A and B are shown apart, each in its own frame.
Chain A
Amino acid sequence: MISVHLILFLAFGAVCVAGAINLLAQTHPINSALSLIVVMAALAGEYLLLGAEFVAAVQVIVYAGAIMVLFVFVIMLLNAGEEERTKGSRVAVLFGVPGMLIGSVLVAWVVLRHSDAGSVAAGALPGDPTRFGDLLFHDFLLPFEITSVLILIAIMGAVVLASKPQIVQKRKEH
């Protein structure tokens, strides 16, 4: 049945897949980064279709608005240029693209064979922040705290790794 839900799903899905294929097809990393941003924004639309509005907003704010900014910064800082064609890359494209196509067709076929699992209505999830926060801070409190510590470790690691090496003065001992 053609419903608005299906049309919207296909529209967002087409944008996702187009962005993903564009990421593979582009040679300059900044174009790949912009395609990835498009994929993430379209995925946020998919989450909205499923009713997970808080997840959609967090996807835009954190993933598309902070992590990808980090990627763009690094591309700008390192002045990354176009990719070069080396021996390994030709082999990889020759075997990789058909392999990926065969793999995904296989997975899609298997999944669609078992399509009697049921349908998902539009906005099925109660995705409002109240329910989300309730679950997050009551049942999932320990993973939440552990991920906070993880982020702290990541911050320290990133600062140490990316800082310029200190120049150590050698003292001449007499």
Chain B
Amino acid sequence: MVPLSYYLVLGGILFACGVAGFLIKRNIITIFMSIELMLNGVNLTFVAFAAHWHAVGGELQGLVPLSGQIFVFFVMVVAAAEAAVGLAIIIAVYRTRETLNVDRVNLLKL
């Protein structure tokens, strides 16, 4: 039996690493991957709470206990859409600016 807070701490650590990567890294693709890491940490929290609620509050209506899993599904879908469009934007930016370093694309006009 693993306490719920252990799962939350793991999700929090992943989220913190994602935020750190987002702020520290200079390559735009690595920044995107840090965003995906943040989303994964949040997904873990959702599923952990869904398991906890299912075990604890089983008398509640069927919606609340299991909807954590469904929400993870939607988070994944949104992450996929965002990754596709974001990478397309990166390709478009690379074509004009010839660089992947965010410090070099900080002016609107070259």
**B: interface residue count bin:** 35 or more
Q: Mark B69-110, 1 if CB is under 8 A from A, else 0.
A: 110111011111111110111111010000011010000000
Q: Judge whether B1 and A126 touch: CB under 8 Å.
A: no
Interface secondary structure of B, over-half rule? helix
Q: Indicate if A77 sits at the interface (CB-CB under 8 A).
A: yes
Task: Decide yes or no: A151 and B80 within 8 Å by CB, A43-B40, A83-B30, A104-B12 being known contacts.
Answer: yes
Min C-beta distance of A17 to chain B, whole Å:
6
Chain A residues whose C-beta falls within 8 Å of the C-beta of B40 in the assembled complex? 39-40, 43, 63
Interface secondary structure of A, over-half rule? helix
Partner among B1, B51, B72, B90 whose Cβ is within 8 Å of the Cβ of A51? B51
What would be 12 A-B contacts, judged by CB atoms less than 8 Å apart? A29-B33, A52-B69, A71-B29, A86-B103, A111-B9, A122-B2, A124-B51, A125-B47, A140-B74, A147-B77, A151-B81, A161-B92
Q: Which residues of A contact B (CB under 8 A)?
A: 1, 3, 5-6, 9, 13, 16-17, 20-21, 23-24, 29, 32-33, 36, 39-40, 43, 46-47, 49-52, 54-55, 58-59, 62-63, 66-67, 70-71, 74-75, 77-78, 80, 83-84, 86-89, 92-93, 96-97, 99-100, 103-104, 107-108, 111-112, 114-115, 117-122, 124-127, 131-132, 135-136, 139-140, 143, 147, 150-151, 153-155, 157-162
